[in-house]
Amino acid sequence: MSSKTANPSARQTQLLEAAYEYVLAHGLADLSLRPLAEAIGSSTRVLMFLFGNKDGLVRALLERARADELALLARLRHADRPAGLAQAAEQVWAWLAADEHRPLLRLWVEAYARSLVEPDGPWAGFAGTTVDDWLDVLAACQPQPERDGEDGAARRTLVLAVLRGALLDLLATDDERRVTAAVHRQLALLRREDRGNA
Amino acid sequence: MSSKTANPSARQTQLLEAAYEYVLAHGLADLSLRPLAEAIGSSTRVLMFLFGNKDGLVRALLERARADELALLARLRHADRPAGLAQAAEQVWAWLAADEHRPLLRLWVEAYARSLVEPDGPWAGFAGTTVDDWLDVLAACQPQPERDGEDGAARRTLVLAVLRGALLDLLATDDERRVTAAVHRQLALLRREDRGNA
DNA sequence: AGGGAACTGACACGATCGTGTCAGTAACAG
DNA sequence: CTGTTACTGACACGATCGTGTCAGTTCCCT
């Protein structure tokens, strides 16, 4: 056996990339194999062969989307290593507010919502996993004395909530001025708090 | 003509209520007429007669869900009349965190996400409308000198973001302790800010 | 050269979808 | 009694869905 999803072949990753761009444009809700295959110059037969069935394809697409998310998280952990929650939040928001990330973030919201409503299927656990991912990386940005304990958990939970709530607003209204102003206001509050604790 | 959706008959509202409970439990994503009709003791024929077509039914269901939301907003405007954003946010969060509202809020997130991905269809404008609804009622809770101007807009945008982000977290993790702690932390920051401005 | 693995095309199957058609019943107005 | 209006049942249509079947091609490995 070769377990297609475990060690993907070149053709598989190539088609997955094309399918990924397709769902970024069309959404996952009413994804159908035949239109997708036709759009990316393939066939349902090939998709079935490479991904097993539709659920396998959707799972692969969600993992692909999550890879983009994890890339940002990894940058936050190492390369740009922000010191403190405020700095981390500022960098994350710059990424979230960038125009070129809108399709990905719309897809993210869609998968998040779906995994809340239907705990079964390929979506299973998407929402919970992504919350944990983000809380982990935010925790890594907190200084040591603050990180542990419920207070630190509440602080990073709050930062995550602000970023996600602002994202929802931005995706709906496209009013970047107002939403970014709100986020920056929160950043100011966070920094004031940091200075107070220092 | 009798314009079914304009002045609904008794039978229509009765069936709509049953269908509403059904979608609260099963979600809107893969809603299908035949299983729905069978579950609520009706038939596809009747649903088509009363709501025109599937889109009409979905529209009616979304309006029904929005009615629940508007009921809360109306209470905030008049009966409980909170003074200041912090008090308003506290009351809203108590409502959002209540167990019995989970199905409604899951449905809300689903509709919000879908309206972002597919701007056409029955979902059209749901996300934008709900953002405006909430910003309006939050504005009504702000004192007069603060309400106008970009600072006031940023403040209520921030409150809305915290509430919605916290809601997303709560729906995914069901960890009410941690999320509520985060919200209350923000409420404390808000009140401190209010005292500073007074 | 040959054989097996990877990949692809053409087509059909059964299920389910939204919707249309034709009729039928109950209530109520004239 | 009659006609109109509101509502409902039974059934079929065409489209589309995911998936299975059978065959072919390409290409690398020994």
Show which of residues 23-52 on chain A sit within 8 Å of chain B, judged by CB atoms. Answer: 27-30
On whether any CB of chain B is under 8 Å from the CB of A56, the answer is no
In angstroms, the CA B179 to CA B159 distance is 15
Angle at B138 between CA B132 and CA B143, to 5 degrees: 135
Q: Which bases of chain D are contacted by protein, using any atom under 7 A from a CB?
A: 5-11, 16-22
A-chain CB neighbours of B165 within 8 Å are 160-166, 168
- Is there a contact between B154 and A182 if contact means CB atoms under 8 Å apart? yes
N- to C-terminal Cα separation, chain B = 58
The reported pLDDT for the residue numbered A5 is 66
Give percent above pLDDT 90 in chain B.
88
Question: Residue B6: its pLDDT value, please?
Answer: 67
Neighbours of A26 (CB within 10 A): 18
Is it the case that residue B23 has pLDDT exceeding 50? yes
Pair B63, B124: CB distance under 8 Å:
no
CA distances from A14 to A8, B77, B192 (A): 10, 54, 54
Distance from CA(A24) to C1'(D17), angstroms, rounded = 22
Cβ–Cβ contacts within 10 Å for residue A113, how many? 29
- The confidence score (pLDDT) of residue B2 equals 46
- Output the pLDDT for position A6: 67
Cβ contact, residue pair B171, A27, below 8 Å: no
Average pLDDT per block of 10 residues along chain A, 198 residues long: 65 95 97 98 97 97 97 91 91 98 98 96 96 96 93 97 98 98 97 79
CATH number of residue A21's parent domain: 1.10.357.10
Contact A89, A159 (CB under 8 A): yes
Residues with Cβ < 8 Å from B5, sequence gap 6 or more? B51, B52, B56, B59, B60
> CA at B13, C1' at C19: how many angstroms apart?
23
Judged by C1' against the alpha carbon of B32, the nearest nucleotide is C17
Q: Give the residue numbers spanning the domain of A179.
A: 3-197
pLDDT tens per residue across span B30-82: 999 999 999 999 999 999 999 999 999 999 999 999 999 999 999 999 988 88
- The confidence score (pLDDT) of residue B115 equals 97
**pLDDT tens digits for B156-189?**
999 999 999 999 999 999 999 999 999 999 999 9
Q: How far apart are CA A108 and CA A99, in angstroms?
A: 15
pLDDT of residue B105: 98
Q: How many CB pairs under 8 A join A and B?
A: 160
Helix pair B102-117, A102-117: axis angle to 10 deg = 150
Who's near A76: CB < 8 A, 6+ residues apart?
A82, A88, A91, A92, A137, A141
Quick one: pLDDT at residue A150?
94
Q: Find how far residue A110's CA is from the centre of its chain.
A: 11
What pTM, to 2 d.p., does this model score?
0.95
Residue entry with tokens 């010191």 = A83
Task: Report the range of poorest mean pLDDT among A32-36, B95-99, B118-122, B193-197.
Answer: B193-197
C-alpha R_g of chain A: 19
CA B109 to chain centre: 8
How many other C-beta atoms lie within 10 A of the C-beta of residue A152? 18
pLDDT tens column, B136-158: 999 999 999 999 999 999 999 99
**Amino acid found at A82:** P
Number of domains in chain B: 1
